[in-house]
Chain A
């Protein structure tokens, strides 16, 4: 079991009733999908807000960043960098900038 740091966008922090970073435990390899599964297991109210309930596709205005790289378009089983798996860097879930 590895512990992953996750930074949620402001609206989802409010919904999950958390402040700052959250930490989730992932069994096995840290991939995009394993981290998202762990987030939704710990915070069920976030189900459907990051990825579609039915298709499991990332919502179009949500992006995933890790270690200054954009993982938004990477396949769900893509391994995340070791700094994410070691907990030295957070996995960032970002609401795309829009509306300005």
Chain B
């Protein structure tokens, strides 16, 4: 029997939400790792019971937890993230050089084919990989040592590598994104990297069309069409039809084009979702109305989805990894808020229901479709 498992990372622990294919009733377990920040959890596409979680605090640093049974039990695995060689400096907020220093793992991306291989995006920005189920992590230093590294600078949340996309049709191709350096692509499994930011325009940097320096918030891809990428930048929603070689703005009629998450419908590659946020200094929905916007044309033409979502006095945020879709026949879409709600829709966003209302601030939501 089919079902859905939602992996929810919060400011104070992790939660696992499970439902059958009807998605009407949910079992909630947790908090796992109570009191710790869980930036991200994700399951292996090759083995849905193999889960990985990034657990951290300012007190005790970074841990990685692994589950072999779908989140029922967890065990800590390797947590040593050491940069290759002398890491050097990147740019600080004030433009001065600042030493590269590991802070936390923002995103875990398990391999599409091997449950023991996982990529980790970290702050200060770098890409790590384990091939032994998390026991040992090694940096793929070609990204950080790309010639532009010393000019990268942090976004407000830190200089984080937050997006990792593995191309299902080109096994050696990886996309990543960094706040605030931009998007990069590797064609050789992470050895070398190319910035892919042509067409991005960011008013907050000295050269608005620079090759690097853009605050990309998230990138999404439909697995059937990996050359098409969608991006929520700091401001602007963007689209690329050539694997990132160039980008065009598709913000269209959005009430504001600032935001964090962006995702793609599981069965309709031209149907995409964003959550417009008022501005970079006011991280809440415009007019106190929590609205997901959906475009069925790959951007430019957007419709608000409001049924079941609060349409007054709502001032939560939805963070970059906190939106996800399942792949059941009627595509489910889910997102979590900084107010601790996780909302779900079983009809591609037409109608929404709160699954839980009172979790700690939600940092990430990932859906697993269970067969």
Contacts and interface: CB of A to CB of B under 8 A. Distances in A.
B60 A11 contact: yes
Given A11-B57, A49-B63, A62-B60, 6 more contacts: A11-B35, A11-B36, A15-B60, A15-B76, A45-B76, A53-B80
A41 interface: no
Interface in A31-50: 45, 47-50
Q: 8 closest pairs, A vs B, by CB?
A: A49-B60, A61-B59, A53-B80, A45-B76, A95-B59, A48-B79, A54-B82, A48-B61
B85 interface: no
Interface residues of B, number: 15
25 contacts: A9-B59, A9-B60, A11-B36, A11-B57, A11-B59, A11-B60, A12-B60, A14-B34, A15-B76, A45-B63, A45-B76, A47-B79, A48-B79, A49-B60, A49-B63, A50-B60, A52-B61, A53-B79, A53-B80, A53-B81, A54-B80, A59-B61, A61-B59, A61-B60, A98-B59
Contact of B59 (A14, A52, A54, A59): A59
Nearest to B80: A53
A61 B58 contact: yes
B116 to A, nearest CB: 19
B82 A96 contact: no
Contacts of B36: 11
B156 to A, nearest CB: 20
Interface in B54-83: 57-63, 76, 79-82
B80 A96 contact: no
Contacts of A61: 58-60
B35 A49 contact: no
Contacts, number: 46
A59 B58 CA distance: 9
Contacts of A11: 35-36, 57, 59-60
A53 B60 CA distance: 11
B111 to A, nearest CB: 24
Contacts of A62: 59-60
Interface residues of A, number: 19
Interface of A: 9, 11-12, 14-15, 45, 47-50, 52-54, 59, 61-62, 95-96, 98
B63 A15 contact: yes
B63 A47 contact: no
B80 A48 contact: yes
Contacts of A49: 60-61, 63, 79
A54 B36 CA distance: 22
Contacts of B58: 61, 98
A62 B59 CA distance: 6
Nearest to B35: A11
Contacts of B76: 15, 45
A18 to B, nearest CB: 14
A53 B82 contact: yes
Interface in B73-99: 76, 79-82
A86 B238 CA distance: 66
Contacts of A96: 59
A45 to B, nearest CB: 4
Contacts of B57: 11
Contacts of B62: 48
Contacts of B59: 9, 11, 59, 61-62, 95-96, 98
A47 B60 contact: no
Contacts of B61: 48-49, 52, 59
A9 B80 CA distance: 21
Contacts of B60: 9, 11-12, 15, 49-50, 59, 61-62, 95
A53 B58 CA distance: 15
Contacts of B82: 53-54
A61 B58 CA distance: 7
A41 B63 CA distance: 17
A42 B287 CA distance: 55
A11 to B, nearest CB: 6
Nearest to A46: B60
